[in-house]
């Protein structure tokens, strides 16, 4: 029986070109980048070259690129590090559909006396620009926005958000973890203050992330120790992963148009197939198009639990994720689905399908048939 992986928003396989670039740094060029001898210098040079490559690809300065252990660390660093450097302002604006890295970092600050404004979104997941204008004020420290939502695929209007922040002299942090390979990123043109990335979402290795920080902005360290990352993030660098991130980023950007076209084709064909067989199936978020990440489908089905449908598909070796968050004994609708006021939420099962490079158009009919079969066999 064939195995079909449809969970690329969770993680992607490692790009083979990136892997080949990484291999020598596992067992040949293994020197500590902080060592003064030749082997250490070789590792340091490789990191510097990777940093320059990343900066060139994203159109920013190498001194604005910082390597982290993950997108989660990068997001925490942007929010918490900036707040510690600027303690006079105590309000932060986010949305109700942020990633948990943002939500939980802000919850931590809330306990320390910060006021967190979580802006509502509409039924497609878009924040209200007017509400943002009304909420931002002289005590606002930062606006933190997820650019492309990891669950329902909504792409926010970053240009308008940036204009508002700039007008009010408020820092803007953007969670771009799901964006690489789906949209062009030009940091000089975008004008944001912070942006966070995670390599394993764009066919790079796990355990490596990236924080872009505008050069003029100061932040406090989260991790203290040595002088790595220009004294702002201590700890021996993960040289192999840094090399892999830079190469995977280059490969993703080079193939952006063909990749997004492929994902859009897959998403469109599967949704139309399912809709023809199960007219009641609902797509969460915007319709497939320019305002939606091309490879993500959040699909809801009445009279079934999310876990039951995902588990039935798993037994058929079709791997998806659910639209639910498990909380010990209870399975509750995710905060994103609650935020968009999902229809019939208490009696609805939701799965997220996220396509990737190895998925094939010729498998769409098989996938849709299996989804319909598993739904009809397990619905109450």
Residues annotated as catalytic (active site), given as ranges = 326
For residues 72 and 82, what is the distance between their CA atoms, to the nearest angstrom? 15
Given a contact cutoff of 8 angstroms between Cβ atoms, the answer to whether 354 and 182 are in contact is no
What are the C-alpha distances in Å from 334 to residues 327, 337, 339, 348?
10, 5, 9, 12
Rounded to 5°, angle at Cα 313 from 309 and 318: 140
Question: From the centroid of its chain, how far is CA 136?
Answer: 25
Given CA atoms 47, 222, 102, 350 in this order, what sign does their dihedral have?
positive
Rounded to 5°, angle at Cα 233 from 231 and 239: 105
- Give the pairing type, strands 321-322 and 348-354: antiparallel
Joined together, the tokens standing for residue 216 give 């003029």
């Amino acid at each position: 029986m064939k195995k079909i992986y449809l969970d690329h928003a969770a993680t992607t396989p490692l790009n083979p070109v990136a892997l080949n670039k990484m291999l020598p740094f596992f067992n040949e060029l293994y020197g500590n980048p902080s060592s003064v001898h030749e082997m250490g210098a070789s590792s340091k040079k490789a990191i510097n070259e990777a940093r320059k490559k990343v900066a060139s690809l994203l159109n920013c300065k190498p001194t604005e690129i910082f390597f982290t252990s993950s997108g989660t660390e990068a997001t925490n660093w942007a929010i918490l590090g900036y707040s510690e450097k600027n303690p006079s302002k105590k309000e932060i604006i986010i949305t109700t559909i942020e990633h948990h890295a943002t939500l939980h970092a802000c919850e931590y600050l809330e306990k320390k006396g910060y006021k967190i404004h979580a802006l509502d979104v509409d039924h497609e997941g878009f924040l209200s620009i007017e509400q943002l204008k009304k909420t931002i004020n002289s005590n606002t420290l930062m606006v933190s926005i997820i650019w492309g939502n990891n669950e329902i695929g909504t792409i926010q209007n970053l240009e308008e958000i940036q204009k508002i922040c700039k007008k009010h002299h408020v820092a803007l942090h953007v969670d771009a973890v799901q964006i690489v390979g789906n949209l062009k990123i030009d940091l000089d043109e975008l004008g944001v203050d912070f942006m966070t990335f995670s390599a394993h979402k764009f066919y790079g290795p796990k355990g490596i992330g990236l924080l872009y920080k505008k050069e003029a902005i100061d932040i406090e360290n989260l991790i203290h120790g040595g002088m790595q990352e220009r004294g702002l993030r201590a700890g021996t660098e993960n040289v192999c992963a840094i090399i892999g991130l830079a190469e995977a980023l280059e490969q993703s950007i080079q193939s952006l148009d063909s990749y997004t076209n492929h994902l859009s084709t897959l998403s469109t064909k599967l949704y139309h197939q399912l809709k023809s067989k199960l007219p009641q199936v609902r797509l969460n978020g915007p319709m497939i198009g320019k305002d939606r990440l091309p490879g993500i489908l959040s699909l809801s089905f009445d009279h079934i639990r999310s876990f039951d449908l995902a588990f039935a598909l798993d037994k058929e070796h079709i791997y998806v994720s659910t639209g639910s968050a498990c909380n010990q004994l209870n399975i509750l609708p995710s905060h994103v689905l609650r935020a968009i006021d999902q229809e019939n939420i208490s009696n609805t099962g939701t799965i997220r399908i996220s396509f990737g490079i190895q998925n094939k158009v010729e498998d769409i009919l098989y996938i849709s048939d299996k989804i319909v079969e598993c739904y009809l066999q397990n619905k109450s």
